[in-house]
Structure 1
């Protein structure tokens, strides 16, 4: 029985920016403290230490604190609040009123939308959480889209370790994480006001319909 999940089951790392840096043997090595270390390494590559470095466009009404990098071509809208360590790649958008709480990687042309909150998460290229979403300790694959009001919950009511259903073997495995949101494979989607419980996995090209609460691993098609 497998005890880990290779990220390549969910994400085509060969087509994304900096894909080799995410090529670990177990997807859970990309969250929690390892993600913080990875983001900090990317920031050091751009000579970011304890204060923001801005190459893109940042509204004078936005607040950036600590080690934050905004690449050329990226945009941060008014009243956004971004805490480091956070890496925002070229062409990404952080829109009006967004809140990024650190340990975040926002890839090229990804979108953190109006009043969306992000904590300890990865947005791969073109991933979009456009409207008042919560994204906690999650990974959003290439070109995924979260419908307005989507919540990716990251903490069980009991507060114990999150387990997940392996996507290719009939077994539940330990994540080693107390806080774990969702792993959304490339081009996955959620409808408006969908709620995904801690440890949810959506394989590539799957979807959760509007107002649905989903918990588990969606291998194909739609969750109703």
Structure 2
């Protein structure tokens, strides 16, 4: 299903993690690889640009990290990124250039492309957020099904078994997620889409869509 493929969702020129996507078709296939990839990439980062502030935590010299933020490796924080007050980064996180991780936001096993904003009280786990994606205050990715079964992805023409118990959302480039929304396990949001506030999203949302509520999705003009 082409709409679910990496090339349909993401501009790989807008992430330091482009190589992790080589040899795979669907973006969620890289979720189990993030930890090892960060460690390998971190060791090769230029020392004139990045500091290894503690074991397996690389922070660009131009990034701004508040003292109250908690960061457990492996993590890479890109150039001009900002990690604000009381952010909780639990490891396995790549935070792109000019990205914002806001107050009391929690990250775990994620790739944030350049200029992503998760600025206020967000939980983002086992997910990938494309270039300039923005999650409104209090919006979250739910990454485990309530019955604890493996996550499947529902596309336009069928389903794909992921084999993953933990899988949040694949959010395409320049997606806007409204405040207080929940992206349920296995959600895939096509690029340039908007999600209304207080939405509960499941399955695939076509690119260039406005998601108003379940059963009411329109294309942008």
Q: Which residue of 2 aligns with 1:105?
A: 94
Q: Which residue of 2 aligns with 1:215?
A: 202
Question: CA 1:18–1:157 in structure 2 vs 1: closer, same or farther (change >3 Å)?
Answer: closer
CA RMSD of aligned residues (A): 2.1
Matched, 1:80 2:79: no
- With normalisation by structure 1, the TM-score equals 0.86
Q: CA deviation at 1:4?
A: 10
Matched, 1:95 2:51: no
Q: CA deviation at 1:15?
A: 4.2
- State the aligned residue count: 207
CA contact (8 A) 2:141 2:169 kept: yes
Matched, 1:202 2:189: yes
Matched, 1:11 2:10: yes
Matched, 1:142 2:122: no
What is the rounded CA distance, in whole Å, between the counterparts of 2:17 and 2:108 in structure 1?
A: 20
Q: Which residue of 2 aligns with 1:60?
A: none
Q: CA deviation at 1:22?
A: 3.1
SS in 1 for 2:35: helix
Can you list the C-alpha shifts for 1:85-104, whole angstroms capped at 9, x where unaligned? 00111111111100000011
SS in 1 for 2:163: coil
Higher strand share: 2
Taking the TM superposition and a 5 Å limit, the aligned residue runs for 1:8-157 are 8-26=7-25, 27-32=27-32, 34-46=33-45, 53-54=52-53, 66-157=55-146
Question: CA 1:18–1:196 in structure 2 vs 1: closer, same or farther (change >3 Å)?
Answer: closer
Unmatched runs of 5 consecutive residues or more in structure 2: 213-221
Question: CA 1:174–1:92 in structure 2 vs 1: closer, same or farther (change >3 Å)?
Answer: same
SS in 2 for 1:30: helix
Of 161, 166, 178 in structure 2, the residue corresponding to residue 174 of structure 1 is 161
Question: CA 1:217–1:36 in structure 2 vs 1: closer, same or farther (change >3 Å)?
Answer: same
Question: CA 1:4–1:147 in structure 2 vs 1: closer, same or farther (change >3 Å)?
Answer: closer
CA contact (8 A) 1:14 1:20 kept: no
Q: Which residue of 1 aligns with 2:151?
A: 162
CA contact (8 A) 1:104 1:121 kept: yes
CA contact (8 A) 2:176 2:194 kept: yes
Question: CA 1:108–1:24 in structure 2 vs 1: closer, same or farther (change >3 Å)?
Answer: farther
